[in-house]
Amino acid sequence: MYKKTTVILTLLFLLSIASPFTTSIKAEEISYEAESVILLEAETGQVLYKSNADEPMAPASLTKIMTLLLGLEALEEGELDLEDKVRISENAQISFDGTQSVMGFDRVGQEVKLEDIITGIAVVSANDGCIALAEHMKGSEDRFVRAMNEKAEEIGLEDTSFANSHGLDDPDQYMSARDVAKLSKYAVNNTPKILELESKDEFTFNDITQPNRNLMLPEKSYGYDGVDGLKTGRTADAGFSFVGTALRDDMRLIAVVMKAPDEPTRFESARNMFDYGFDNFDKLNLYESGEIVGDAPVTQGTDHFVPLATKEKLAVVTDKEDPSDLDQKLEYDEDIKAPVEQGEKLGELHIYDGDESIGSVAVEAAETIEELGFFGKILRGISNFFSNLWESIIDSITGLF
């Protein structure tokens, strides 16, 4: 349990208020044509716009964000190496016939460098590369799919189920737009190499050069300033889908468009959401990791109070044209007893815009507080007794007047 201590420290920020001559679109003016959309800020996770965002839908190649995430995490943890040779199985040897997005492996038994497999999945959305990676990592695609679903549960994806590693239509393969956005946020923040790969203009394998299918990359036909990812998707069930991410002025937005009717529409829908987000919102960095935000009383400790520090950086997103006052409320453990170890979680700091909580961060002990020894506790008890007695006398005297 935490005792709510309202610092009602009002955080009044004079934001970069939009010029009266600036024209920006409003939420009701966002133009999109898709069955499901969502826009969120990537650091805070704040949702800036959504429509039908929780309906499970066929994800098509948006699935590959999870496939890449597992591969990149394994690389970071040393379980894989980019120089590894991946043996191509019969399952992964998909013909280059135009019906699927593939790298185009030559033959069963071919050995391909893992770096090429990862890049092929990221840049040209290679279905054959997904199967090859899955089998290389887990021995079979089925076991890899189990790992995908376990990771989805770990991240907190509530309307997601994976049945394959590439995203071809399957009744047991679905994601909501909100889950796609949450997965993308997780991948971008935890495996930044995904953006390095996804922003490559083209990929050449076996003397075949294929372009990146993300036409919102700045040099492409639907180019948008700041876009550096993430993934397109198209199947009969999924229609035309897209998750894009763009970075401007230290604010990264993620836009998800699911089941648009055609390619231009999915990109124009994402463009309109990006315009809305960048035109109307600012990201405020309120606290850095380790910053002192208050203190909490400690009983039987060598100090009466322990300073509280943010465990992580805390940022929030606010409206440019209506920069409301923000309140912060510090909640900490009701009964903190020494000893207290530095780094021990003791509560949370919440940021409110009116009644709405728009951000929070764990707070921890900024220093160690040792427990009083036997004689120290006796002396503290005597001190507290006389202090309380004196306060009672003062209150009694004050009550006479």
Domain CATH number, residue 76: 3.40.710.10
What per-residue confidence (pLDDT) applies to 393?
A: 59
pLDDT score, position 26? 63
Residues 6+ apart with CB under 8 A from 86: 111, 112, 113, 114, 117, 132, 133, 136
Q: Please state whether the peptide bond connecting residue 339 to the residue before it is cis, i.e. omega within 30 degrees of 0.
A: yes
Q: How far is CA 153 from the centre of its chain?
A: 14
Q: Tell me how many degrees the CA angle 159-165-167 measures, rounded to the nearest 5.
A: 65
Is the separation of the CB atoms in 349 and 11 below 8 Å?
no
- For residue 93, is it within any domain? yes
Same domain, 161 and 293: no
Measure the CA–CA gap between 78 and 34, rounded to whole angstroms. 40
- Indicate whether 234 and 173 sit together in one domain: yes
Both 93 and 39 in one domain: the answer is yes
* Domain C-terminal end among 244, 260, 276: 260
In a domain, 20, yes or no: no
The pLDDT of residue 133 is 98
| Angle subtended at Cα 230 by Cα 249 and Cα 141, rounded to the nearest 5 degrees | 145
Specify the pairing of strand 326-333 against strand 202-205.
unpaired
- For residue 279, is it within any domain? no
Question: What is the identity of the amino acid at 121?
Answer: I
Residue pair 197/122 in contact (Cβ under 8 Å)? The answer is yes
Please, which residues have CB within 8 angstroms of residue 7's CB and are 6 or more apart in sequence? Answer: 293, 294, 328, 329, 330
Task: Please check whether residues 344 and 249 belong to one and the same domain.
Answer: no
d(CA 239, CA 241): 6
From CA 399, how far away is CA 2, in angstroms rounded? 34
250 part of a folded domain: yes
Amino acid, res. 154: E
If asked whether residues 306 and 194 sit together in one domain, one would say: no
Q: Which helix or strand (DSSP H or E) is residue 248 part of?
A: strand 239-248
Angle 75-211-136 from CA coordinates, rounded to 5°: 30
Residues 10 and 38 in one domain: no
Q: How far is CA 343 from the centre of its chain?
A: 24
- The last residue of a domain, from among 223, 242, 260: 260
Tokens of 295: 């203190």
The answer as to whether 28 is a domain residue is: no
Question: Could you tell me which of 122, 72, 70 has the C-alpha nearest to residue 101?
Answer: 122
SS3 content of the chain, % helix, strand, coil (to 5): 30, 30, 40
pTM, whole model, 2 decimals? 0.85
Q: Given this model, what pLDDT does residue 226 score?
A: 97
The confidence score (pLDDT) of residue 116 equals 97
How many domains does the chain divide into? Answer: 2
Place of tokens 């993934």: 231
Residue with tokens 């390619």: 263
pLDDT number for residue 251: 97
- Beta partners for 168? none
DSSP, res 290: T
Residues 240 and 316 in one domain: no
- For 267, the enclosing helix (H) or strand (E) is helix 263-280
For residue 73, give the nearest of 207, 230, 191 by alpha carbon.
191
Give yes or no: residues 187 and 47 share one domain: yes
CA 169 to chain centre: 26
Enumerate residue ranges in the chain where pLDDT < 70: 1-29, 97-98, 323-324, 372-401
pLDDT of the residue at 374: 53
**Do 193 and 311 reside in the same domain of the chain?**
no
Is 281 part of any domain?
Answer: no
Give the pLDDT score at 170: 97
Residue 389 forms part of a structural domain: no
* 228 and 325 fall within a common domain: no
Per-residue pLDDT, 29: 66
Domain ranges, residue 318: 2-14+286-375
324 & 177 share domain: no
What pLDDT, in 10s, does the model give residues 140-174? 999 999 999 999 999 999 999 999 999 999 999 99
Q: Are 124 and 200 in contact (CB under 8 A)?
A: no
Rounded Cα distance, 132 and 124, in Å: 15
Same domain, residue pair 294 and 228: no
Is residue 278 situated within a structural domain? Answer: no
How many Å apart are CA 197 and CA 338, to the nearest integer?
Answer: 49
What's the length of the chain? 401
The CATH number of the domain holding residue 366 is 2.60.410.10
Confidence at residue 370, expressed as pLDDT on a 0 to 100 scale: 85
How many C-beta neighbours within 10 Å does residue 43 have?
Answer: 20
